[in-house]
């Protein structure tokens, strides 16, 4: 692959957006992250400060990583400060036969149907109606216990920190600050860690049997 105008343009765009070299390489295809970095330097783009405004003396310390900047988006209503009692992380979640839950970017976790959550009733992700929500009793007690335990050790990653090898199980309420992704090592080829795979993927028969 060569650096065609289009590819260079895409590179510039993504780099400006704060995408990492490896992400850009993946997107472009046919090049490694090294190639991307090399190109970035040759193009003189290495200083990701973006504009050239004011930046004299002293590096901005935290160069505003992608993760840092990507955090805030999903806030619907401002909800004037006010002391919001910390909602405890919902423990139980949907357990669809096929993974209907987080799908990387769209990950708008349906808030657990276990904890009512104060104030914020429940922000429906928007768009289509939610898929049938499996009730808590459709999940085996063992899996549930395992999940509760594991979530205490979650790495609490933000959306942007997820990779192909991190568990993408959402924890907490996306409408509050108590929201993150599990982030523990995911099972090879699976989107979740062992514990979360346990509640995400279940044989239909097992679910039916447990159902009330």
Residues at the interface with DNA (CB under 7 A)? 1-3, 20-23, 31-35, 37-42, 46, 163-165
169: Cβ–Cβ under 8 A, 6 or more apart, which residues?
93, 101, 102, 181, 182, 192, 193, 196, 200
Minimum distance of DNA from residue 46's CB (angstroms): 4
Query: Using CA atoms, how far apart are residues 54 and 82, in angstroms rounded to an integer?
Result: 36
Minimum distance of DNA from residue 22's CB (angstroms): 3
Q: Rounded to the nearest 5 degrees, what angle is found at the Cα of 193, between the Cα atoms of 187 and 196?
A: 130
Q: Which is nearer to DNA, 32 or 103 (CB)?
A: 32
Minimum distance of DNA from residue 44's CB (angstroms): 9
Q: Which is nearer to DNA, 64 or 124 (CB)?
A: 64
- H helix or E strand, kind and range, residue 181: strand 179-181
Q: Which is nearer to DNA, 46 or 103 (CB)?
A: 46
Cβ atoms of 53 and 18 within 8 Å: the answer is: no
Q: Which is nearer to DNA, 89 or 183 (CB)?
A: 183
Q: Which is nearer to DNA, 3 or 201 (CB)?
A: 3
Q: Closest Cα partner for 40 from 67, 18, 6, 8?
A: 8
CA atoms within 13 A on the CB side of 144: 13
> What is the per-residue burial (b if ≥16 Cβ within 10 Å, else e) of 10-23?
ebeebbeebbbbeb
Q: Which is nearer to DNA, 25 or 101 (CB)?
A: 25
Beta bridge partners of 185: 166
Minimum distance of DNA from residue 174's CB (angstroms): 24
Minimum distance of DNA from residue 184's CB (angstroms): 12
* Residue showing tokens 């995911």: 186
């Amino acid at each position: 692959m060569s650096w065609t105008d289009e590819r260079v343009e895409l590179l510039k765009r993504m780099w400006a957006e704060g995408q990492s070299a490896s992400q850009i390489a993946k997107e472009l295809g046919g090049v490694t992250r090294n190639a991307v970095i090399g190109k970035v330097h040759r193009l003189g783009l290495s200083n990701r400060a973006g504009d050239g405004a004011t930046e004299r003396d002293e590096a901005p310390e935290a160069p505003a990583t992608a993760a840092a900047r990507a955090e805030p988006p999903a806030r619907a209503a401002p909800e004037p400060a006010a002391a919001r009692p910390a909602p405890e992380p919902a423990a139980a979640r949907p357990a669809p036969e096929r993974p209907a839950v987080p799908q990387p970017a769209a990950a708008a976790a349906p808030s657990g149907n276990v904890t009512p959550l104060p104030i914020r009733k429940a922000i429906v992700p928007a768009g289509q109606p939610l898929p049938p929500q499996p009730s808590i009793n459709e999940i085996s007690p063992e899996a549930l216990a395992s999940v509760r335990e594991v979530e205490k050790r979650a790495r609490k990653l933000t959306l942007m920190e997820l990779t192909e090898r991190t568990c993408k199980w959402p924890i907490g309420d996306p409408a509050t600050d108590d929201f993150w992704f599990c982030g523990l090592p995911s099972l090879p080829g699976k989107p979740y860690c062992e514990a979360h795979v346990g509640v995400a993927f279940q044989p239909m028969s097992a679910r039916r049997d447990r159902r009330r």
